[in-house]
Chain A
């Protein structure tokens, strides 16, 4: 089973993503901030990272930079409410950029595209 690390500070949203993606057959690990996500990346193997950008403390962009320093091979999906971060060149380092929506279809499709089901 493919293992996904989700970083999302909003508790309701992280629960929603966790359940929905588990339903798709993925193993889910959830972190609510960048620092604890980085600790997890150092300890465990992941097939994919899905991260929010705007979070208290370190933001998603800084997290991506740090993850790339540790593990270049993990695909990353940015999942944010902001269209505007697309202009930040650091977000280009991610493999996909998905705008948050109550329909998770786009996110699920991107995951499938990157790591299969």
Chain B
């Protein structure tokens, strides 16, 4: 016999210890997309909710450069409010989403009263004579302050603000790096802070530290990926520009180096003109490629577009002495895309197919529903086909086997299909032509 349980902590029974409930709610944050603010607020709520862990108010400091800055202060304003939060937290069906919604509401309300005062609490972590509460972060240790009014190490401004006798400073540390601090107190119940409280608070601080660390790491990775893509792009572009530039420079030098025969001069100038045209072409196509942005997917009826497309003069010109076999299923559902980009994607592939098909050969264009979920567009040529190596390279920017190709066409197609949430498959074998299969998602009912 087997029993199944959800990975995500959910419904608790009434005798679940409160500590478990709270930690489970915090643990739910692990299932959320990275929203550092929300996740930290959930921890603060768990720490401060009435009969929960037992603290009443929490101030969050985050490290910004070498400074520790107060960013949020959260807590109920009265014992009743504290109790109401706890009742909400422990009622059945309450989870992460409800707490996040509640927190956002609370913070919005508090921003006006409290947030302006928080900006006074900025501590320089390079200052070795830091007062409490920042000292805890600097020393990477949890510090409990009792009889705070008599303690000279406490920042008097901070004392004025929180107006309590006891508070607990929890540094947020991950991988030995200080990332922030949480200061909690029992400013409403005025109960003493005991060892049990400290144990639970330490767990919360560890989780908070790790959230911040992971989020920072995630941001860094995204940034690095962007830079890497940019670097790759720059390398490809500079290579692509280099060939024509070398040719222009080389042929110019040839003319300057020695008295130029009129014929030779003319020929060189023609070559230079061609290369400049090629450069313009690269720049035009590149900017066109970079501009692909589909803001909103729309319902697209592919049938009239495909019927029209084979009648386009540029396609007809290319298809002279070749044939296009067009077959469309009688019923084709609407797809989700952008009509202009859809047409461009198909034209690009059809254009390629015609280029690679020898005279007298045939290009096949098909459209039919697939699996109720997609409309499948097939474009097949009677060309030489591609070996595995060329297939691997075909989506590499600027890779081309065409004499005047730029090597962006297929990438362009792929990018359009990705944007429309579709799929692209290629089947090719040397001597047997190449077939592209484009799967476009069918518009779901009720979607506009």
Number of interface residues, chain B, beta carbon within 8 A: 22
A45 in the interface (beta carbon within 8 A): no
Contact of B235 among A13, A56, A84, A103 (CB under 8 A): A84
Q: Which residues of A contact B235 (CB under 8 A)?
A: 82, 84
Q: Which of A14-22, A35-43, A67-75, A88-96 lies at the interface with chain B?
A: A14-22
Residues in A neighbouring B242, C-beta threshold 8 A: 81, 100
Is A101 interfacial (CB 8 A cutoff)? yes
Q: Are B239 and A54 in contact (CB under 8 A)?
A: yes
Q: Does A12 contact B (CB under 8 A)?
A: yes
B275 — which chain A residues lie within 8 A by C-beta? 12
Interface hub of B242, B253, B400, B401 (most chain A Cβ within 10 A)? B242
Is the CB of A116 closer than 8 A to any CB of chain B? no
Majority secondary structure, B binding face: helix
Residues of B near A19 (CB, < 8 A) are: 254
Q: Please state if B401 and A16 are interface contacts (CB–CB under 8 Å).
A: no
Q: Which residues of B contact A13 (CB under 8 A)?
A: 243, 246-247, 250
Residue A109 at the chain B interface, CB threshold 8 Å: no
Distance, CA A12 to CA B275, complexed state (A) = 8
Does the CB pair A56–B245 fall under 8 Å?
A: no
Could you tell me the distance between the alpha carbons of A115 and B275 in the complex, rounded to whole angstroms?
A: 32
Of B250, B271, B390, B400, the contact of A102 (CB 8 Å cutoff): B250
A12 touching B390 by the CB < 8 A rule?
A: no
Instruction: Tell me if B164 is interfacial: C-beta within 8 Å of chain A.
Output: no
Q: What's the interface size class on A, roughly?
A: 10 to 19
Query: Which residues of the partner chain B approach A16 to less than 8 Å between Cβ atoms?
Result: 246-247, 250-251, 254
B223-256: CB near A (< 8 Å → 1, else 0) gives: 0000000000001001100111111111111100
Q: State the CA gap A98–B369 with chains docked (Å).
A: 54
Report the separation of the CA atoms of residues A78 and B348 in the bound assembly, to the nearest whole angstrom. 34
Q: Does B274 contact A (CB under 8 A)?
A: yes
B235 to chain A, nearest CB (A): 7
Known: A102-B246, A103-B253. A57 touches B401 (CB 8 A): yes
Show 12 residue pairs from A and B whose CB-CB distance is below 8 angstroms, ordered by the A residue: A12-B247, A12-B271, A13-B246, A16-B250, A16-B251, A20-B250, A20-B254, A56-B400, A56-B401, A100-B242, A103-B249, A103-B253
Q: Which chain A residues have a beta carbon within 8 Å of chain B's beta carbons? A: 10, 12-13, 15-16, 19-20, 54, 56-57, 81-82, 84, 100-104
**Given A54-B239, A57-B401, 8 new contacts (CB under 8 A):** A10-B243, A56-B400, A57-B390, A81-B238, A100-B243, A102-B245, A102-B247, A103-B253
